[in-house]
Amino acid sequence: MQQFLEIEHKFIVAADFDNAAFRDKILALKPTGRSNVAVVDTYYTLTTDRGYIFRHRLDRELQQLTVKSFGGSTEARLEVNLDLDLGQGNQEERVAAFLQPFAAVRAGRIDKDVEAFYFTDCEVVYYRARSDSKAVACVEFEAKGYSDRAAASRTLSYYENLLGFSATPRAEQSLFDLLLRP
């Protein structure tokens, strides 16, 4: 199941975070790619089992249905993504119908403005996210292509150190908790 283990560190940054200076630092590291997208994430919770949440993600680059483990550490969680056909348009209604037999209920929507930078071993993302009543800005580091959790942790530490986050406390709550939990 390691192939479906998401290992990431999230840092909440202040509203006046200097994203331009941060972007310059990242670009100096020569990422293999980058992306700017507006993302809509719709979350569903299960009434029968609170150990998992579902997310329908839609942006101009992808559409996915994701199941994530929920509760406990936000550093390492189960994350299984199923790609949905963008050519079919927004499939949120189908996703809701698909999840209904599992006793899933819509828990809310999060809109994000995302700037992502891709490296062979890490994805670094800056985003501003908002729900109906809350907002937050974050930087996330997600390990990619790792052989084990220790290697993933070393990768995250490497990029966090290079980009000035090694002494910054990590967010211990998921984005779902930060923006959609009462």
What mean pLDDT comes out for the span 69-77? 82
Range of the domain at 13: 2-180
Number of H helices, E strands in the chain: 4, 8
What is the number of domains present in the chain?
1
User: According to the model, what pLDDT value does residue 6 have?
Assistant: 87
Beta strands in 48-150 (DSSP E): 52-58, 63-69, 76-83, 104-118, 122-130, 135-143
User: According to the model, what pLDDT value does residue 3 have?
Assistant: 65
pTM: 0.89
User: The domain that contains 124 carries what CATH number?
Assistant: 2.40.320.10
User: Is the pLDDT score of 116 beyond 70?
Assistant: yes
